[in-house]
């Protein structure tokens, strides 16, 4: 007996619910992105019908993938780590013959179009199944997203989700990569972004909102931003939050929880982790 499931723009049936869900992000509002990091202890199978775009990684001793297309038969058999890319309209079946770990990032058609500025119907995206060693960039990106989604005490940063999603599209060849020509924001656009981040430092800010503020597509904006600032938008926002929190803590007028809230961190614990990542020290040590 199978269990029906729906995960964003993917639906189907699964032999049993995952034995463990390490982390999950449910699509909401304009994000239209869904992510799940899951594991099974026993063999099983699932079917998938994709209306958007699915990018995933599987890790198991033995895997079988079948595309449900006339005359297609067995699509591919893999052992160990496997990368999968499933375009709109894909329908197929996956079987695993032992313990397995899977991570799926699912884009709605609107999310893909918003990030690459092109209708999904015009994209030439083929079904791909290959060794994970050929797509290690995607593996590391989804692993990072899984670590962020594992913290169920606070929502995953929208800017992080957007940034990872765009990087995944680029790593898969769906979105254009970096141009050999140097791209940068204008001085006016730089000022607009600085002001926007300062005004919104205590509230969630998405990549789409930043790009829209300077009338650019998300893909072009990220390239131009890095050309001007030398870091990604997500890294810049984190550094600005850390700088504000340091200033607040140094003033001695607020608690760590208050500093975290005013600087846009979900809580003092998450702020502490970010401080150690950015500065290599705890919030109080960094403030000193």
pLDDT of residue 273: 87
pLDDT of residue 28: 55
pLDDT of residue 122: 73
Ordered mean pLDDT values, 10 residues apiece, the chain (288 residues) = 85 94 76 89 94 94 84 63 92 93 93 78 83 94 92 81 91 73 90 96 90 91 93 94 91 89 89 86 77
pLDDT of residue 179: 58
Neighbours of 58 (CB within 10 A): 21
pLDDT of residue 70: 54
pLDDT of residue 167: 92
Q: What is the pTM (predicted TM-score) of this model?
A: 0.84
pLDDT of residue 69: 72
Q: Which residue from 188, 186, 213 is spatially nearest to 199, judged by alpha carbons?
A: 213
């Amino acid at each position: 007996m199978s269990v029906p499931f729906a995960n964003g723009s993917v639906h189907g049936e699964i032999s049993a619910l995952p034995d463990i869900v390490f982390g999950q992000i449910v699509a909401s509002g304009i994000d239209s992105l869904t992510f799940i990091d899951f594991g099974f202890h026993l063999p099983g199978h699932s079917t998938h019908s994709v209306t958007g775009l699915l990018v995933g990684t599987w890790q198991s001793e033995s895997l079988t993938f079948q595309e449900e297309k006339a005359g297609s038969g067995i699509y591919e058999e893999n052992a160990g780590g496997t990368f999968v890319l499933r375009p709109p309209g894909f329908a197929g079946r996956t079987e695993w013959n032992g313990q397995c770990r899977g991570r799926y990032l699912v884009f709605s058609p609107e999310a893909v179009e918003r990030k690459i500025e092109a209708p999904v119907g015009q994209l030439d995206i083929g079904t791909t199944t290959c060794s994970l060693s050929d797509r290690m960039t995607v593996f590391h990106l989804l692993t990072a997203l899984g670590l962020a989604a594992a913290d169920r005490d606070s929502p995953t940063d929208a800017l992080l989700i957007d940034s990872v999603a765009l990087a995944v599209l680029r790593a898969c060849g769906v979105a254009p990569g970096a141009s050999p020509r140097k791209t940068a924001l204008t001085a006016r656009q730089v000022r607009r972004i600085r002001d926007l981040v300062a005004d919104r430092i205590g509230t969630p800010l998405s990549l789409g909102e930043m790009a829209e503020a300077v009338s650019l597509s998300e893909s072009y904006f990220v390239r131009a931003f890095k050309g001007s600032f030398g870091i990604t938008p997500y890294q810049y926002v984190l550094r600005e939050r850390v700088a504000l929190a340091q200033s607040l803590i140094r003033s001695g007028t607020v608690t760590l929880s208050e500093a975290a809230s005013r600087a846009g961190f979900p809580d003092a614990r998450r702020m502490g982790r970010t401080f150690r990542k950015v500065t290599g020290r705890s919030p109080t040590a960094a403030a000193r």
